[in-house]
Structure formats: C-alpha cells, structure tokens
Amino acid sequence: GKLRNAERTNSSVVDMRTIGRGVLGSIGGLALQAAIVIAVLSTSAAPIVRSIIRKKSSIRTICNNFLAATLIQLQPTSILVRKGKGAEMNRRRTLLLLSAALAFAVLPLQGQQPGTPRQGGQAPATADPYANNPNAGTVKFPLAAPAGKDSGAIDHALPGGVNEGRIDEKTWKYGHTFDAPPNNEIWNPVKVKMMRGEKITGGTVFASSDPSTYCAMANAGYDFIWTEMQHNSRDWDNVAKMWQACPHAKAIPGVRVAYADEREIQHAMDAGALVIVVPTVRTVEEGKAARDWTYFPPLGKRSQGGGAAFSPEFWGSVPGGYRNTINDNVVLIEMIETIGGAAQAYEIAEIPGVAAVFAASGDLGNFSGYKQGEPDYERLINVVHDAALAAGKRLCGPFAWRDRPDFTCFQAGSETAAIARGVAAELGNLKDTQGKPEVGPYAPRK
C-alpha cells in the first residue's frame, strides 16, 4: 500500500510539471502568433485597416485561422499529458504552420491601395486631388497624343473642342466643369451677414498657438477669428492645428496673412480659411494679386492642390462641393494702410472679388504722421470710406469704430484682452480686491 501511494505521488508530481510546461507552451504560442501578426501589420498599418474594412471575407479567414490556432493551444492540459512528447512536438509544428497561414492571409491585403473603388465604381471620398485613377492600367485615353509624335495641339483644337486656334490665355474660353450648381445658396455665415448689410466682428487670436485657446475664442460669440500672421511668428502648421481642433465652431476661421503672396494665401485657403485679410495693399496690382491667390479660376489663379479645406471635417461636404462653391463663399478684405494705398483706394475697392476694404486706424497714422482726430488723418479715413461706398463694398475698421457711419465689419481685441475683460465681468465688484500684507513683495510701496 505504501508503495502504491508513493507511485501515485510521483505520478502527480510529473503531471503537475507537464501541465506547467503545457500552460507555458500555450502562452508562448499565443505570444508567437501575436508577434507575427504585429510584425506583418506594422509594415503598412493604414492600407491594411482600409483593406480589412472593404474585404469582410478576408477578415473572416483571418479570424478563423486565429481561432483554430488558439483552440489547439488552449485544449485541456490533461490531453497533452496523455499524448506525451510526440504529441507535444506535433502540436508545436501545427502552431507554427497556422501562424504562417495567418501571416500569409494578411500579407495580400497590403497590396490593396487606399484608392480601390467601392461598389458601383465610386472611389472613396478624399481630400487628395491626385487620387482620381483608382483603376490604373485599365483606363483608356482616346484623345491622347499618339505615342512618339507631335500632335499639333498647340495650334489646333481636338475634335469637339471649344477653343480654336493657337492656345492663348487671354482668349481662352473657360469651361463649366467647376460652375456652382444653379441657385446654390451661400454657406459661409459671414458672407450671408455681409450680403444683408449686417455688422460682423472678428476676434483676434494674436499670440497663442494653443488649440484650446483658439476654440474658446471661436466659441465666444464672434463671427470669425482673425488669426494674426502678419505680426506673429507662428507657422502654418500651428494655425492648421488650431483650426482643426474645432473646424465648425461658432466663428469661422479667418486670417490676416503677412502679404499679398501666393505662398501665404495658398496655405491659408488650403488650411480652411473662409476670411482672408490682406494688409498694406499699396497698389491696384497688389490688390489684384491678393485676389488671384484667394480665388480659383476663372476669377483668380489659386492652385488646386488639396488640403484640409477639401476634407469633410471642414468644407468638403458643403452643398455643391468646396471646389465649385468656395469662390462664392470666401470673404476677401484688403487693408488700406499707406498714403499710396489711400491714393488708389477707389481702384482697389473696385477689384472684382474684394468684399471689403479696411481703413487701418493704426498704420494710417503711422504712415501719415498724424493721429486720430486730426484733419489730415481723418481725411485718409474718409477716402477709404468714400471708395467703399462708390464700389458698393463693405467698410471695415477697428471695433472701437462700430458706431462710425457706414462701418459694418470690425476687428475686435486679442485673446489676452478678452480674458481680462471676461474676468472683470465675472468678478464685478470683487475685481482687484486682493489682500494687502504689511511686508513682502505684495506690501504697499512706501
């Protein structure tokens, strides 16, 4: 009896050791599978995720393979004990084969491009204008020039073409591909108010690059945000991050660019700006340049290169589409700040596409040598006023001039000034009632 008890004890010890090895082997097998899957997926995660979304059959196969391997690893440990070492080796070989099958099931998905069309031949929505050939290698080009030969297209129209004779930018008849839909309504709330003659106000984000500060200003009650880029050193990446934090806030994104420059205005428009303020417009030529980079053809010369503005998160899903309607919705404000600008204010205000002219209170004093209230200063302000009225455009100025005749759009104070005003309004008579110790840095100065 003692001998049989000892044998059972020894057998139990062996069983427990084998069970322990089986459990550790199962955990190790799962870790090996996970490592293989992560290694495969990490090489091209984004295309795989998109492909899995489109290919439900593939995801079923992957899940089935993974489930089969997992079940083998998690089978009752007692069975593994009874099978012995030979069965354990077979189990490990099966595990490796199933892991390899899983890897090969995932790998083909990496070859799928994100532009693969959905059912019905429709490509997925994208802000990338170059994702327009989802079936590469199958598209025909019946009007393409013959291979290796001069087609003569510089002088001759193709069959069915509208523009005859030699290509000339001045006489080119622009097509209708990008026309706005008939009777398409304005979707920019600032443009709606301007068309009604109502007053609009832009709150200035001058120094901060913090998205939370921008969003607080954008939801404070202004019509648009005047993101300062003329007198601030932030870059366009900072601006984009702020605007993307709350693209549909109460106040639409606007910006004062540094100059009537293609690079500046292109960055602003592609990032999603709906109000463009251009400073120190000195001549009609500068005013037209600002218009050209703000508007798409045929009114302007803005390049179509994609950007956040085209995405559904911003304006990509507006009625009529962003490309076809932005020319009717963007608001371009040109600032008259110099003596030369005032001398050409009438011509600048008449430029097609300019929605308003801004009488710059600070720089008209800076460039003239006079201050507000003096006759020569006030004359310059009145010139800008008269030019806006003559051209039928809106007249803008600082918020302090909101009661000045015919001024209907304004630049309000900065985020720091808004914080100070907000705190003062919140505290009321408790403002500036700090304690006054007799000693230390907060003690009254004697």
Q: Is 438 a member of any domain?
A: no
Q: Is 66 a member of any domain?
A: no
Q: Burial letters for 353-387: b for 16+ Cβ neighbours within 10 Å, e otherwise? A: bbbbbbbbbeebbebbebeeeeeebeebbebbbeb
Residue 75 pLDDT exceeds 90: no
Measured CA to CA, the distance from residue 217 to residue 142 in angstroms comes to 54
Mean pLDDT of 104-129: 43
Model pLDDT, residue 249: 97
Q: Which residue has the higher pLDDT, 139 or 202?
A: 202
Q: Which residue has the higher pLDDT, 267 or 72?
A: 267
User: pLDDT confidence of 114, banded at 50, 70, 90?
Assistant: very low
Cis peptide before 298 (omega within 30 of 0): yes
Model pLDDT, residue 308: 96
Q: Is 70 a member of any domain?
A: no
Q: Is 213 a member of any domain?
A: yes
Considering its fold, how many domains does the chain have in total?
1
Residue 98 pLDDT exceeds 70: no
Residue 385 pLDDT exceeds 80: yes
User: pLDDT confidence of 85, banded at 50, 70, 90?
Assistant: low
Mean pLDDT of 302-317: 95
User: Hey, is 276 helix, strand or coil?
Assistant: strand
Residue 237 pLDDT exceeds 60: yes
Lowest-confidence segment of 69-78, 206-215, 255-264, 291-300 by average pLDDT: 69-78
Residue 398 pLDDT exceeds 50: yes
Q: Is 81 a member of any domain?
A: no
Q: What is the span of the domain harbouring residue 329?
A: 195-428
Q: Which residue type does 205 have? A: V
Measured CA to CA, the distance from residue 376 to residue 368 in angstroms comes to 8
Model pLDDT, residue 444: 87
Residue 361 pLDDT exceeds 90: yes
Q: Is 106 a member of any domain?
A: no
Q: Which residue has the higher pLDDT, 127 or 258?
A: 258
Residue 54 pLDDT exceeds 70: no
Lowest-confidence segment of 32-41, 145-154, 403-412 by average pLDDT: 32-41
Measured CA to CA, the distance from residue 122 to residue 108 in angstroms comes to 23
User: pLDDT confidence of 125, banded at 50, 70, 90?
Assistant: very low
Q: Is 188 a member of any domain?
A: no
User: pLDDT confidence of 410, banded at 50, 70, 90?
Assistant: very high
Measured CA to CA, the distance from residue 102 to residue 100 in angstroms comes to 5
pLDDT tens for 194-211 read 999 999 999 999 999 999
Residues in CB range of 404: below 8 A, 6 or more apart: 397
Average pLDDT, the chain: 81
Measured CA to CA, the distance from residue 269 to residue 276 in angstroms comes to 8
- What is the percent of the chain with per-residue pLDDT over 90, rounded to a whole number? 67
The answer to whether 128 touches 307, Cβ cutoff 8 Å, is: no
Model pLDDT, residue 41: 43
Q: Is 162 a member of any domain?
A: no
Measured CA to CA, the distance from residue 388 to residue 359 in angstroms comes to 10
Model pLDDT, residue 445: 84
Look up the CATH number of the domain holding residue 324: 3.20.20.60
Model pLDDT, residue 7: 47
Model pLDDT, residue 60: 47
